[in-house]
Chains A and B, each alone.
Chain A
Amino acid sequence: MKYIFVRLQQLGHPFAEFILHLGGITSMLFEIIISLGYPFRKFFLIMKELYFCGVRSIVIITVSGWFVGMVLGLQGYNTLQRFGSVSILGSVVALSLLRELGPVLTAILFAARAGSGITAEIGLMKATEQLDAMNVMAVNPIKRIVAPKFIAGIVSVPLLSALFNVSGIMGGYFVGVILLKLDSGTFWSQMQDSVSLHNDVINGIIKSFIFGVAVTLISVYQGFIAKPTAEGVAIATTNTVVSGALTVLALDFILTALMF
């Protein structure tokens, strides 16, 4: 009987832990917002983080966008061909990229490429007691380390997402117009007809901005709560990618329900 009770208590444990992390992450968000002014006075800190998060993600974002666009072009062509409406291939590619694939895949790639790096960096600083040293020197690590990373994250994710979209549309154009010989004019005009600036482009940017906040916040939080050991940092890095991807997908459902 007692064994069953213990088991039941263990069932609730992950949920309680989730609530605990939710509380921790929210209080961290407020701490970051309060200290956002600091990095603007030390602008070089933001530039360094922008270089690390944004510039070094350009290649992976462009290449994956290109391939996603090419796959969309091929699959769309095969399906639309059955109904004899290949002419709307342009709008199929553009709409699926702008509304969903662009923001979501960019955020997931960003979590894997830059988010894991942020977690590992902060986790290692904790493991080697650099954060404690900062506290001793009366330097607030949230101001000095976390806030610049946060700003760089929320600036670079929307920009990277725009890059992903453009690269994907070009990939779709490559497959549709250059390989499958569709008419270039129809491709663009159908796209322009069905894509609206407010509904699709701006909503997509709002989406990727929110994803940027979520992914960067998770990355710095995971780094901060990592156990100060080699294994702890490894677990925290994995957690960043896993929970970052899950959060992005869940948020995407909510945002899509709200926007479209």
Chain B
Amino acid sequence: MRRLTIDLSVGIFVLIGILCLTFLAFRVATSNTPGLGATHTYTLYANFNNIGSLKVTAPVKISGFVVGRITSISLDTKTYKAVVIMQINDNYKLSTDTSAEILTTGLLGEQYIALQSGADNEYLKNGDTISITSSAIVLEELIGKFMTNMTGKN
């Protein structure tokens, strides 16, 4: 086996391997930040009474379009509300009276945060808190309400 042939075929092998890794990294997987390589994000906070089964890395959407991701969920020990921290892409400015609610994709799908933009002229800055929030819908509570309504009618 000549040296040139070996060098050439090993080079092709390594090239194929690196191409496959790039394919896996950019076509198959997505990084946790919104959009491809969107490093310019700002942080928003939101307090919820009940986050249901919301998870870290769940998307934040406006009109169904992904504008950010949830990076952390914790519990405020003073108010006993869940604090959700999300990273929003810098390209999307949100007015200060934006409201956040937790919705579910499909009947049994994963939960996400839907933002509803307001009419205020001022915009939320890095580290601000979204004040208007509504909790996740819990199926058991819904059924409970339905049951009490039914018994009330009878």
Interface residues of chain A, those whose CB is within 8 Å of chain B, are 44, 47-48, 50-51, 54-55, 58, 94, 98, 156, 158-160, 162-163, 165-166, 169, 188, 191-193, 195-198, 200-201, 205
Contact = CB atoms under 8 A, between A and B. Distances in A.
Contacts, number: 80
B29 A197 contact: yes
B6 A48 contact: yes
Nearest to B57: A196
Interface residues of B, number: 24
A198 B20 CA distance: 16
A159 B29 contact: no
A201 B28 contact: yes
A163 B17 contact: yes
Contacts of B6: 47-48, 51
Contacts of A98: 24, 28
A195 B12 contact: no
Given A47-B7, A193-B30, A54 B13 contact: yes
A199 to B, nearest CB: 9
B32 A54 contact: no
Contact of B10 (A54, A158, A165, A201): A54
Contacts of A198: 31-32
A168 to B, nearest CB: 11
Interface string B4-40: 0011011011101110110111011111100000000
Given A44-B3, A197-B29, A197-B31, A166 B23 contact: yes
22 contacts: A44-B3, A48-B1, A48-B6, A51-B10, A51-B13, A54-B10, A54-B14, A55-B13, A98-B24, A156-B17, A159-B17, A165-B20, A165-B28, A188-B27, A192-B30, A193-B30, A196-B29, A196-B57, A197-B30, A197-B32, A201-B24, A201-B25
Interface centre among B29, B30, B57 (most CB of A within 10 A): B29
Contacts of B21: 159, 162, 205
Contacts of A160: 17
Contact of B29 (A44, A50, A54, A200): A200
Nearest to B7: A47
Nearest to B59: A193
Question: Which A-B residue pairs are the 6 nearest by beta carbons?
Answer: A159-B17, A162-B20, A197-B29, A195-B29, A166-B20, A55-B13
Contact of A195 (B9, B17, B28): B28
B90 to A, nearest CB: 21
Given A94-B28, A192-B29, A159 B14 contact: yes
B13 A192 contact: no
B6 to A, nearest CB: 5
A166 B24 contact: yes
Contacts of A188: 27
Contacts of B24: 98, 162, 165-166, 201
